[in-house]
Amino acid sequence: MHGLMTDRLFIFPHDSNVLSKLRSGPGGFGPLYNTPNKLNFSERGYALKDLPLPIKEKLMKDLKRQLAEPLKKGLIKEEGLAPALTGGPGSVLRPFVWGKTVYTLVTNLHGDWISISKYISGSNLEDICYFHGPDRITPN
């Protein structure tokens, strides 16, 4: 996955001087990464937390079936599973403002799941709505 473009969002107050602290070379972006206010779903992805229960249960059942062998062998733990994720390597983050509220679109390069979420603070988002699958762009 090296070389795969992945979006990360670092959030600073408008009067921050963080840009003046950045340097070229190893560790030069340290001041940027040290903020607690960031959205970075490049490793594990962003778990869709507010899916309707029937959808969540169906997706979890399908996921457990797909991962039956690693679960059985104890290579992965069931409590670590998320029924639906977006982001991960190839994360796409598109922040936008509606009124005085900041939202972000979170997806990946495939666009299988899209989450529209309200930015709360730090790395916390409140999920507003989801879109799934190729039918999201083609009206019925």
Q: What angle do CA 39, 66, 72 make, to 5 degrees?
A: 105
Structure tokens belonging to residue 4: 């795969």
Q: 133 CB contacts (<8 Å, ≥6 apart)?
A: 112
Distance from C-alpha of 14 to C-alpha of 113, rounded to nearest angstrom: 32
Residues of the chain with pLDDT > 70, as a percent, come to 92
Residue 85 pLDDT level (bands cut at 50, 70, 90) = confident
- The confidence score (pLDDT) of residue 95 equals 93
Q: Any bridge partners for residue 86, and if so which?
A: 46
Residue 109 pLDDT level (bands cut at 50, 70, 90) = confident
- The confidence score (pLDDT) of residue 92 equals 87
Residue 1 pLDDT level (bands cut at 50, 70, 90) = very low
Say which DSSP state 76 is in: S
